[in-house]
Amino acid sequence: MVQIEGKYVCEKNENLNEFFSSIGIPFVPRKIMCNSSPSMEIKKEGEKWTITTITLFRTAVTEFKLGEEYEEDMPGGKLRCVTTMEGDNKLVTNTKAQNGTTVTRTYEFTDDQCLITYQHGETGTIGKRYFKRT
C-alpha cells in the first residue's frame, strides 16, 4: 500500500492554464495560479482527512470524510465536494460550483510523488500538477 499522508511540493504543471481557462478563471488570477508552486500536506486522523495547500497568497485547509459531502471555500466561491478512495493510491474529489460547473480532481500517489489531474466536466479539458514528496 502506498503512503498517502505526507508533505509535497509542486514541481511542474501540464496544461493547467487551459484547464483554468475552461472553468472560467480570469486571465490575471489564472496566470498567478499557474506560476505558483504550492506545497501540500495530507493528514488522516481516524476517518477525517485534512489537505492543507500553501501558496504565497493563501493557505487553504480542507477537511473531509470519504463519501460525505463537504464545502470547500475557493476565491471564486463555495464548492460542494465529495471525495472517495479508488484502490489504495487514489483520492477522487467530485466538485460542483455554485454556477453548476463540475470538476473532478484525482490525486494519484506513488512512493515519491502525487499527481493531481483536474478534469472539467463540461468540456473534458484536463490539467495536471506534479508534486514531489518531501
Q: Where are the domains of the chain?
A: 6-133
On the question of pLDDT at 3 being above 90, the answer is: yes
Residue among 57, 51, 125, 46 at smallest CA distance from 81: 51
pLDDT digits (tens, 9 = 90+) for 102-114: 999 999 999 999 9
- The backbone torsions φ and ψ at residue 30, rounded to the nearest 5 degrees and listed phi first, read -60, -45
Residues 6 or more apart whose CB falls under 8 angstroms from that of 134 comprise 6, 7, 8, 9, 39
What mean pLDDT is predicted for residues 8-26? 95
1 vs 44, residue with greater confidence: 44
Give pTM, 2 decimals: 0.94
Q: What is the CATH number of domain 6-133?
A: 2.40.128.20
The pLDDT score that the predictor gives to residue 89 is 97
Residue 126 to residues 65, 71, 101, 118, 119, Cα–Cα distance (Å): 26, 23, 14, 6, 5
